[in-house]
Amino acid sequence: MATQKQIQLAKRPEGMPSDEHFNFVETEVPSPNTGEVLLKTLYLTVDPYMRGRMTDAKSYVAPFQLDEPIDGGVIAEVIETQSEKFNKGDIVIGHLGWQEYSVAAEDNLRKIDPEAAPVSTHLGVLGMPGLTAYFGLLDIGQPKEGETVVVSGAAGAVGSVVGQIAKIKGCRVVGIAGSDEKVQYLTNTLGFDEGINYKTSNVYEALKSACPDGIDVYYENVGGEIGDAAFSLLNKFARIPVCGAISSYNKTEKDLGPRVQTKLIKSSALMQGFVVNDFAKRFQEGAEALGKWVKEGQLTYEETIVEGFERIPEAFIGLFEGKNLGKQIVKVAEPDIAVLPHN
Amino acid sequence: MATQKQIQLAKRPEGMPSDEHFNFVETEVPSPNTGEVLLKTLYLTVDPYMRGRMTDAKSYVAPFQLDEPIDGGVIAEVIETQSEKFNKGDIVIGHLGWQEYSVAAEDNLRKIDPEAAPVSTHLGVLGMPGLTAYFGLLDIGQPKEGETVVVSGAAGAVGSVVGQIAKIKGCRVVGIAGSDEKVQYLTNTLGFDEGINYKTSNVYEALKSACPDGIDVYYENVGGEIGDAAFSLLNKFARIPVCGAISSYNKTEKDLGPRVQTKLIKSSALMQGFVVNDFAKRFQEGAEALGKWVKEGQLTYEETIVEGFERIPEAFIGLFEGKNLGKQIVKVAEPDIAVLPHN
């Protein structure tokens, strides 16, 4: 009987996760029943929000269970089918375990077209991170032509799309990121107006100088002192889509900062937390807009691809060390049957 | 030549204001030119937001100037007129100095009807505080029948109106205030479902028990640890109108607390700062609704009236010590000509 590797949550981290929190387990390759398919994992995504699921706390998604496989977005190939909807060699996306092979019900999978774009983009610019950028910026941020949009985590999977959409909408765009290389990527490749390396700058002073007309939209990905600085430079009726606070996810001490109430009052500013699923009914609209901008060359993306199933924990931990430019993806295997012209 | 008393800002306070920050000055009673009237101050309002104007910082209203009269909402009687719009004995409301007599241009005054309601209500339930409650709760808070609304500073001029409107809208209403007397006023007189004395309770635990279904709307008047507690009990898609943060206004150290980003994300909550003037175009609508509810007996109000021009600083400072129940007003003088049937 064939076996495969699976990654389980071994214990719940306090602070930064490390190898000891992940358990590589040898399990049987399962068999599909009627209406199911057997899938070979090709690419999988590691995302900052997963850190929240490693903690056993009430949140917007259920926590991972101890000694169970971690799960998330996966691009896979159908290698055995008991479903009339899928053929061998089809490429699909689904929410699956961190394992080399999975069985999934046909209704939990969506077929993707490997001819149209690299299949990995469905984990990035055309997937959850792209949609998170799209709805958070446009629905909550409501950027208007000529306004100043600041985005933190700007070189990441979400932030890089946020800034580019803001440019498409005619805004002045300032991105905050964690290295000179990333800042150059923002201004040279993505067309941001200015970039700030938060590791080598006084962020408040740098923002003040990069935003001479103040901040109309601050797209929050990181929290901490970067958020604090942005909140001090808000224009009247500023909007703050709150997407993430990666700087706090591995904190073991309390995440204390200046309370925001007086800053919000002074500027009549709006701050709105969200998760992408709040917009689930409109994913089609978002995916079409993102796809069109990519096709037209208005929306560029970067993927940092680590190869090898064994390196999934390393890729995940790297997110919190700022190792990724754009979307962090793990390539697990080549397809058996399908041809991926763009990957 | 007649003289009068005027209160000027003597120096800018750090921390809690005290007598030394106010200067009583003897000045001439001015004379009106064409289009102006001479006014006798009858009632004036002291409000927490004025503390912000005593500081020389960028805010939503200009700071008071040193050695100039402090100003704010005043109910006054026309005692000499060079205006075709106003007669002697008219009662008007305007934004005037803290002084016994003022000259004002006719366009900066609005006539009020002393027969309809106590004239002092135009500084409270029918004035800025009532409108602040109305628009913050209904426009930002958007309470729905059956939802749980929590309001801090609940026995104050704004909070007491917020809670009553929420009751009118069919919500479960929990108020937070600073004495058992105030808490009893909330539940016995105003019809709140529960009241919490923050000085004798663990606010988080008390809120948790008073809000078994979580918090849908938190109307923020106070900030500090009370706000922190409320932010931890938000339901999905909760709304937080941010009206004030009185606990921070006299702080000399930094106002630090748990950063809110992760809490807003977990509940997809909206937090919006505002000042009543953001809704200036709709004051008529708000004043009509408030007046109707008062007339119908659905909206009750309390005024804490201190008598005497000399006691204005004391009344103002008392706001930060929680001395007022409902609207804090100073009665400066009786009218010379007019009759005020309700005051």
Give pLDDT, residue B56: 83
Are residues A18 and A165 located together in one domain of the fold? no
Asked if residue B342 belongs to a domain, the reply is: no
- A58 pLDDT band, cuts 50/70/90, is low
A58, A256, A268 ranked by CB distance to B274: nearest: A268
Contact A261 B60 (CB under 8 A): no
CA distance B120 to B12: 29
Per-residue DSSP letter, B221: S
- Write down the pLDDT at residue A51: 94
Residue of A262, A268, A271 with shortest CB distance to B245: A262
Asked if B230 contacts B239 with a C-beta cutoff of 8 angstroms, the reply is: no
Tell me: do A166 and A307 sit in the same domain: no
Quote the strand ranges of chain B, DSSP E: 3-9, 22-28, 36-45, 71-81, 91-97, 101-105, 109-111, 148-152, 172-177, 194-197, 215-219, 234-242, 256-258, 270-273, 303-307, 327-331
Residue B89 lies in a domain: yes
Residues A141 and A288 in one domain: yes
Residue A107 has pLDDT above 80, yes or no: yes
Asked if residue A213 belongs to a domain, the reply is yes
Q: How close A135 comes to chain B (CA, Å)?
A: 13
Residues A176 and A189 in one domain: yes
Q: Which residues of A touch B55 (CB under 8 A)?
A: none
Which of B60, B220, B261 faces A261 most closely, judged by CB atoms? Answer: B220
The answer to whether residue B341 sits within a structural domain is: no
CB contact under 8 A, B259 and A227: yes
In 3D space, the residue among B76, B164, B69, B182 whose CA is nearest the CA of residue B120 turns out to be: B76
The mean predicted confidence, pLDDT, of chain B is 96
pLDDT of residue B28: 95
Which residues on A lie below 8 Å from B242 (Cβ)? 261, 264-265
B236 band by pLDDT with thresholds 50, 70 and 90: very high
The per-residue pLDDT for A59 is: 65
User: Closest to A244 (Cβ–Cβ): which among B59, B265, B267?
Assistant: B265
A264 and A166 share a domain? yes
Subunit contact B261:A245, Cβ cutoff 8 A = yes
* Residue B75, beta-bridge partner list: B43, B93
Where does residue B41 rank: exposed (0-12), middle (13-18), buried (19+ CB within 10 A)? buried
Indicate whether B274 and B134 sit together in one domain. Answer: yes
Same domain for B192 and B269, yes or no, is: yes
Averaged pLDDT, A152-174: 97
Mean pLDDT lowest among B54-63, B224-233, B266-275: B54-63
Q: Which CATH number is B54's domain given?
A: 3.90.180.10
Q: What's the average model confidence in pLDDT over A47-55?
A: 93
Q: What is the pLDDT of residue A168?
A: 98
CATH code (residue B231): 3.40.50.720
Is A211 inside any structural domain?
yes
pLDDT in tens, B144-182: 999 999 999 999 999 999 999 999 999 999 999 999 999
Across B24-49, average pLDDT: 97
Is residue B339 situated within a structural domain?
Answer: no
Is A316 found in the same domain as A227? no
Q: Is the pLDDT of residue A7 over 90?
A: yes
Q: Closest chain B residue to A225 measured between Cα atoms? A: B259
Could you tell me the residue range of the domain that residue B266 belongs to?
128-295
Given an 8 Å threshold on Cβ–Cβ distance, is A273 in contact with B257? no
Q: Tell me the percentage of chain B whose pLDDT exceeds 90.
A: 93
State whether residue B115 is helix, strand or coil. Answer: coil
pLDDT tens, position by position, A108-131:
999 999 998 999 999 999 999 999
- B272 and A273 within 8 Å at the Cβ level: the answer is no
Q: Nearest-CA distance from B273 to chain A in Å? A: 4
In a domain, B325, yes or no: yes
The whole-number pLDDT of residue A343 equals 79
Of the candidates A58, A60, A257, the beta carbon closest to that of B259 is on A257
The pLDDT of residue B60 = 65
Q: Say if residue B72 is in the same domain as residue B98.
A: yes
Residues B25 and B135 in one domain: no
The answer to whether the beta carbons of residues B112 and B91 sit under 8 Å apart is yes
Question: Which residues of chain A does B227 touch, with a Cβ-Cβ cutoff of 8 Å?
Answer: 259, 261
- Give the tens place of pLDDT for each residue, B283-330: 999 999 999 999 999 999 999 999 999 999 999 999 999 989 999 999
Task: Determine the residue of chain A that is closest to B243 in CA distance.
Answer: A265
Q: What is the structure's pLDDT at A1?
A: 67
Query: Which residue of A59, A227, A278 is in closest CB contact with B261?
Result: A227
What does the pLDDT read at residue B65? Answer: 94
Name the more confident of A343 and B99: B99
Which residue from A58, A224, A269 is facing B273, i.e. has the nearest CB? A269
Count of domains in chain B?
Answer: 2
Percent over 70 (pLDDT), chain A: 99
Instruction: Establish if A270 belongs to a structural domain.
Output: yes
Higher pLDDT, B211 or A57: B211
Six token digits for residue B5: 């008393």
- Domain identity same for A262 and A224: yes
Interface test with A, best of B49, B260, B268 (most A CBs within 10 A): B260
Name the percent of chain B lying above pLDDT 70.
99
pLDDT value of residue A332: 98
pLDDT of residue B61: 74
pLDDT (mean) for A205-233:
98
Using a CB-CB distance cutoff of 8 angstroms, which residues of chain A are in contact with residue B265?
60, 242-245, 273-275
User: In this model, does residue B264 exceed pLDDT 90?
Assistant: yes
Structure confidence at residue A43 (pLDDT): 98
pLDDT at B58: 66
Question: B1 pLDDT exceeds 70?
Answer: no
Same domain, B134 and B254: yes
Q: Which residues of B touch A274 (CB under 8 A)?
A: 265, 268
Which residues of chain B are within 8 Å of residue A272 when distances are taken between CB atoms? 264, 268-271
Which residues of chain A approach chain B closer than 8 Å at the C-beta?
58-60, 220, 223-224, 227, 242-245, 248, 254-275, 278
Rg (CA), chain B: 20
**B255/A260 Cβ within 8 A:** no
